[in-house]
Amino acid sequence: YIVIKTTSPCEAGKMYTMFADDFTGELGDDLTGIYRSEYKNEAGVNRVIAISQMETTGARHTFPCFDEPAFKATFDFTLYHRSDQGFYAVANMPPIIILPFFIHQTEMIDTVLWNSTTFDTTYVMSTYLLAVTVSDFLYEPATSTAGTYIYARPETIKNNEGVFAAEVTPALLDTIATHYDIPYTLPKSDQMAVADFGAGAMENWGLVLYRETLLLFDENISSVHDKYSITQVIGHELGHQWFGNLVTCAWWNEIWLNEGFASYVQYIAVDGVKPEYKPWEIFIIDDLQIALSADAYSNSHPLVHPEGRFSSITYSKGASFLRMVQSFLGETTFTGALKVTTFTNSEDYILGNIKGNGFYRINYDLDMWGKLSLKLKDPSFKEIPVENRAQLVDDIFALSRSGRIDISLALDLATYMVNEDEYIPWQTFLDAMTYCEYMLGASPIYGDFSKYILDLVVPSIYADLGWDDSNTSDSALITRMIRGEAIDAACTYGNQDCIDNAVMLFDQWRNDTTTIISSTYRTDVFCTAIREGGLAEWDFAWEQYLLSQNAQFQSSLRYGLSCSKDAWVLNRYLEYAMDPTKVRKQDIQNTFSYIARQEYGKYTAWAFAMNN
């Protein structure tokens, strides 16, 4: 809070101006407010830039203000910054005046060149949406009426890693504007990738900031999952330009109105631009099932919550709730975008919650579960919509985890997967198997459990799709995603052909680091080779991690490094992860999670956490 003491009483209805000339802020490194970030350029020189993150309370660290979402205002500001070596400022609005600025020599250690950049007046907006950066980034222009540029480290732009974002951003923005018949009114919609960013992305009005992994796409390194995630996240942040920026929740307890709507709108945007990605099918596993799972825990919370939590309930349950309401009210009443469908069931079984429109699970009686299981094992199983096939698998395993259904029923129903060829049922099934693996990893029946999975995966999607990932067109994106899941499962659960191929690819790359391993299964290759290998493989991968400047490649290596079977190696890795000169602060939590996820790492991670 802020306390203001006046020298005399204030008159009601009169406007006063408050000056805070002696305010001094801090350019910290804690990823909030305006903070410093570092990266090494192509020449290996360390570059220091300024980035901002105002949500939720970063603005008050930057300048005196009423830092609450309901207090909206226009903002005029001038930024004084270095202008040598290619440095310049970018903010919510375009610059209107850029002038040389001279600092008295006694006030500065060096005598570098400086500019003062004055930006145009912002629209009426909340403080948490303000953004300002000072960097030497290059940009990829996009063809857009909104004036879109994709900013990033110079080497990534030179490497054409901003091209994909430049392609989809204007189309996603136009899709949302057309869908709601409300134009995007700001003079620009810039997107910027930064190396140090606490959030995944931030919807600042006119200057959206992202982690590099969620905006930049390298055709030779990034995976199909990266491509889908980038499209989805851009759609989400652009959805905020209407839901959150134009219309804002009064307080953080209703943040679901921002995040739930943006999470819902991102699917409308992606479906309008890349329908071949099948976003509404992926909604089932990326949001509906995530929300149902989160809502089952005792620490779940209502959508409107006094603490204003940024959680999967806020995002995924919010989106699922909106999708359910839309399905109840119909397209004209709600958005006019989606068609309400009906389903006529056969005489043999009853199927509820068509296409997963409702935010709930269904526990059928044992007789009906049996009939549904028989239908799924029948050659005509695709008469059941793919969304429902995925939801049936998710529901029955969730119900078994809660003790409402015997696990044997779930495992029996899932044997139909040997004939399944769609992505979202496979992703659902393998997610369920991951939970079972956590429970059975050290049990006497783990061998039988692994054989069960391999008997479903290997003769179907692993054999059908193989390792040939040369078709990189958008039309093959879903196929490549299934291929990645097949190889991940086959290698994880011990298929020797998969292990041999992974080790061979790793050795080829180890002998010649210019060798390209497909991003679709690169992480699996790293993990398998390090798990099957020894210290030499681990040390080589760690060396490549330190040398790499690509965030997505580094992410694959960080996961692969967690797969070692040696406790002392994992302890050393955990020590490395605590050193911000080796692992970025934003990646520490993920690195710890990667290790804790492994059968050989979970006890090591627990002991490390208890001792530190």
Q: What is the 3-state secondary structure (H, E, C) of 206-221?
A: CEEEEEHHHCCCCCCC
Provide the strand spans (E) within 272-365.
Answer: none
Q: Is 27 exposed, middle or buried (0-12, 13-18, 19+ CB in 10 A)?
A: exposed
Beta bridge mates, 49 = 37
Cβ pair 2, 66 in contact under 8 A: yes
Helix (H/G/I), strand (E/B), else coil: 169: helix
Query: Cα-Cα-Cα-Cα dihedral of 393, 394, 395, 401, to 10°?
Result: 110
Please report, in range form, the residues annotated as the binding site. 236, 240, 259
Cβ pair 322, 357 in contact under 8 A: no
Locus of tokens 């049936």: 392
* CA dist., res. 214 & res. 222, Å (int): 10
* CA dist., res. 52 & res. 463, Å (int): 48
Please report, in range form, the residues annotated as the binding site for Zn(2+). 236, 240, 259
Torsion-angle region of residue 294: left (phi > 0), alpha (psi -120 to 50) or beta?
Answer: alpha
Strand order in the sheet with 207-211: 138-141, 149-152, 190-194, 207-211, 201-202
Beta bridge mates, 48 = 38
Cβ pair 359, 321 in contact under 8 A: yes
Q: Which residues contact 550 (CB under 8 A, 6 or more apart)?
A: 156, 218, 221
Taking the alpha carbons of 54, 56, 57, 60 in that order, is the dihedral positive or negative? Answer: positive
Question: Which of 55, 140, 212, 237 is the catalytic position?
Answer: 237
* CA dist., res. 590 & res. 580, Å (int): 14
* Active site annotation includes 422: no
> What type of residue sits at position 557?
L
Question: Which of 450, 446, 459, 473 lies closest to 420, judged by CA?
Answer: 459
* CA dist., res. 213 & res. 194, Å (int): 9
Pairing of strands 201-202, 207-211: antiparallel
Question: Count of CB atoms within 10 A of residue 402's CB?
Answer: 11
Active site residues: 237
